[in-house]
A = this chain, B = another copy of it.
């Protein structure tokens, strides 16, 4: 048992040609099936993936390329992907881009011949990035971020606009007018669409936010922290804050905590994407939620359909969000934070 047994070893033990064994392995009918099965068992034979791959041009693997696996959203997505691919006998490669377009480009370039398909959350939505994706020649499903306007790739997104609108309507309904927004990068799908969706509702409600109230950040915890600090430093801080993703929201909560700002007493908070601990926070956090593992499962299903030639034209799936009301929002109260109370009063009375 020095070297791994090959198909020839199986053939000779069974007293057949390797061609017959190969046919058996393909599941085709063979007279001597049991003898072959026995030999395989005895030798503990498994076909070498590399040899198969070389012959077939197929790998049985797919790549999942996400910004950061420690983001609970992507961890859930990957779990969904992995569970389906296990059932379908696909193997998954995992890559973190760290939101870095260069890293992403390097990874993609390395993927040719290694995977049959890619599930990708692009770090870079530039036209160059689109070209790079097409250049791989590998079927791609876009996850959570859409690029390439000409319906180039399959995608599985969520209704970011509607999600953000749910948050905005809720806050407006509670009576907030002086609202802070912490958005992600506007050159990413979720960054831009959540931003616009949120503002569109305010707009419809006749609420115009001062530029100081609109913080464009980076979807990272530290970015959320800093943005929240800036909002709190305003002469008249907002009575509510909408934070466009989970990581930034954690940063915001940390800032609020550090600054001893009471939620929702002084400021209301709505996050985008649920957190496992959201209900255990103090107060339990109100968020825009969405299916996560399902999004991953759908991504891989979409990809496998494409690989099996079962789907012809490009498919874009959009999942619904939902507002999960907990206790981090309340009507704006007279306790609101102000640097200089008189200003507020005069403005209210004026």
Q: Which residues does A use to contact B, with CB under 8 Å?
A: 4, 44, 46-51, 53-54, 59, 61, 64, 68-70, 72, 75-76, 78-79, 82-83, 86, 91-96, 103, 107, 109-110, 112-114, 135, 137, 250, 253-254, 257, 275-277, 279-282
Contacts and interface: CB of A to CB of B under 8 A. Distances in A.
B279 A281 contact: no
Contacts of A91: 93, 110, 114
Chain B CB count within 10 A is highest, among A44, A76, A96, A114, for A114
Leading 4 A-B pairs by shortest Cβ distance: A282-B282, A50-B53, A50-B54, A94-B94
Contact of A95 (B46, B54, B76, B86): B86
Contacts of A79: 68-70, 96
Contact of A4 (B46, B59, B113): B113
Given A50-B54, A51-B54, 8 more contacts: A44-B135, A48-B113, A68-B79, A70-B72, A70-B79, A75-B75, A83-B96, A282-B282
Contact of A253 (B75, B94, B280): B280
A4 B48 contact: no
Contact of A46 (B93, B109, B279): B109
A76 B70 contact: yes
Contacts of A72: 70, 72, 75
B53 A112 contact: no
Given A75-B69, A94-B82, A276 B257 contact: no
A254 B276 contact: no
A6 B319 CA distance: 42
